[in-house]
Structures are given as C-alpha cells and as structure tokens.
C-alpha cells in the first residue's frame, strides 16, 4: 500500500518479492498498475 499527499490509498500485488521491492521504493510514484482502495 502507498498513501498520497491527499490521503488516498493505493494497492498493488508486488508478488513474492514484496518485501524486497518495498524496501527499495524511495519516492511516491505509482503507475497505472496501482489501484485506488475504496475506503
């Protein structure tokens, strides 16, 4: 999950390497593969 500056939450299945990929993320820059979570 990532949260933008407006408080919108997005999710994406990063697969079996989720932890590794998430640790490498330094900036908020989701592409169209991220889906907004309905709250």
pLDDT, residue 6, reads 92
Place of tokens 């309905």: 38
Strand order in the sheet with 2-3: 2-3, 9-11, 35-36
pTM comes to: 0.70
Each residue's pLDDT tens digit, 7-26: 999 999 999 999 999 899 88
Residue 39 is predicted with a pLDDT of 74
């Amino acid at each position: 999950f990532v949260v933008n500056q407006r408080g919108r939450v997005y999710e994406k299945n990063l697969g079996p390497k989720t932890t590794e990929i998430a640790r490498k993320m330094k900036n908020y820059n989701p592409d169209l593969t991220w889906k907004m979570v309905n709250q």
